[in-house]
Structure 1
Amino acid sequence: MGKMCYIYLMRREPKTIATNRKAYHDFHIEEKFEAGVVLSGTEVKSLREGKANLKESYARIKDGEIFLVNAHISPYTCGNIYNHEPKRERKLLMHKREIDRLYGKVRERGYTLVPLSLYFNERNRVKVEFGLAKGKTSFDKREDIKRRDEKRINERESRSR
């Protein structure tokens, strides 16, 4: 009998391109969602170089479609005159049902869609993780800082014993 060779494909870990750490500081994230992003060729190449920034970006629902607004993807370094515009609106790919559900939530006072991270998934597709968020007040932010400091002090004390 002939020998059989099995090839096991390694599952690739999602490669994070950019994170929006300030979102966790400024918002209460109530629910997380994932969506694909419609990009041009030079945008993908720029993302492979890790040149993206989600600071002050958000998602907006317009005419039954969802868009990523104000996300900065730097122009590709080896690009030419056909390079992309860095802060253009980028369409997100989600099921219609999910978009309708999100639209109902966002219409409520105080809710917004905040991107949390931008990454390549296992199949090398660019995905954005965003959260349905409600803004924090300055009091909430101070409480979080106090809680974090207390936790840090307790851990330090338990290590020293």
Structure 2
Amino acid sequence: MAKGKKQHDQPLAQNKKARHDYAIITTFEAGVVLTGTEIKSIRARRINLKDGFAQVRNGEVWLMNVHISPYDQGNQFNHDPLRKRKLLLHKKEILQLTKQVSDKGITLVPLKVYLKNGFAKILLGVGKGKRAYDKRESIKRKDQERQIQRTLKNFS
């Protein structure tokens, strides 16, 4: 690893579809309660956030529908790939999330997974679903910015 680069800048998995489907309002960093060989699978980048979401239940935040593949050398100690996992947040953060998610159309989506000081962390985003015309507009804006960058690069 290069000097000066922080370890958590390198995501192990990203949910690019979440930024396309949702307008992200705020983000929270959360730890994950893992069992058995799940951390080994995560370090091997065998995690899929594509259909994942989070819910607040009974004052706890749970990560649902995130697929962590079974570890190859895990034998009988392997885990269920789609089990729900508890997220570790401070009480104040959970109260904030509860208030924000109570609004209609607001959901919690996992944006990326990375390692920080040896622990797996998930970046949770509070997102509001985009409509089809919002998606087209954001794609058009990205294309325009890309075109501007190309023309500036040619003049340099």
TM-score (norm 1): 0.89
Tell me how far apart the structure 1 counterparts of residues 82 and 53 of structure 2 sit (CA, whole Å): 12
Offset at residue 61 of structure 1 (A): 0.6
Question: Residues 11 and 142 of structure 1: is their aligned pair in 2 closer, same or farther, counting only changes over 3 Å?
Answer: closer
Instruction: Please tell me whether the aligned partners of residues 36 and 77 of structure 2 are also in contact (alpha carbons under 8 angstroms).
Output: no
2:126 counterpart letter in structure 1: L
Offset at residue 96 of structure 1 (A): 1.4
Secondary structure at 1:40 match in 2: coil
2:46 paired residue among 45, 51, 65: 51
1:140 paired residue among 128, 134, 143: 134
Q: Report what 1:40 is aligned to.
A: 35
Matches within 5 A, 1:12-161: 12-14=6-8, 15-121=10-116, 123-161=117-155
CA distances 1:48-103 after superposition (whole Å, capped 9, x unpaired): 11100000100101111000000000000001122100010000001112111111
Offset at residue 124 of structure 1 (A): 0.4
Q: Report what 1:4 is aligned to.
A: none
Tell me how far apart the structure 1 counterparts of residues 22 and 148 of structure 2 sit (CA, whole Å): 26
Tell me how far apart the structure 2 counterparts of residues 155 and 81 of structure 1 sit (CA, whole Å): 53
Aligned residue pair count: 151
1:130 counterpart letter in structure 2: L
TM-score (norm 2): 0.92
Offset at residue 155 of structure 1 (A): 2.0
Instruction: Please tell me whether the aligned partners of residues 52 and 64 of structure 2 are also in contact (alpha carbons under 8 angstroms).
Output: yes
2:127 counterpart letter in structure 1: A
Q: Which runs of 5+ in 1 are unaligned?
A: 1-9
Tell me how far apart the structure 2 counterparts of residues 57 and 11 of structure 1 sit (CA, whole Å): 28
2:134 counterpart letter in structure 1: D
Q: Which runs of 5+ in 2 are unaligned?
A: none
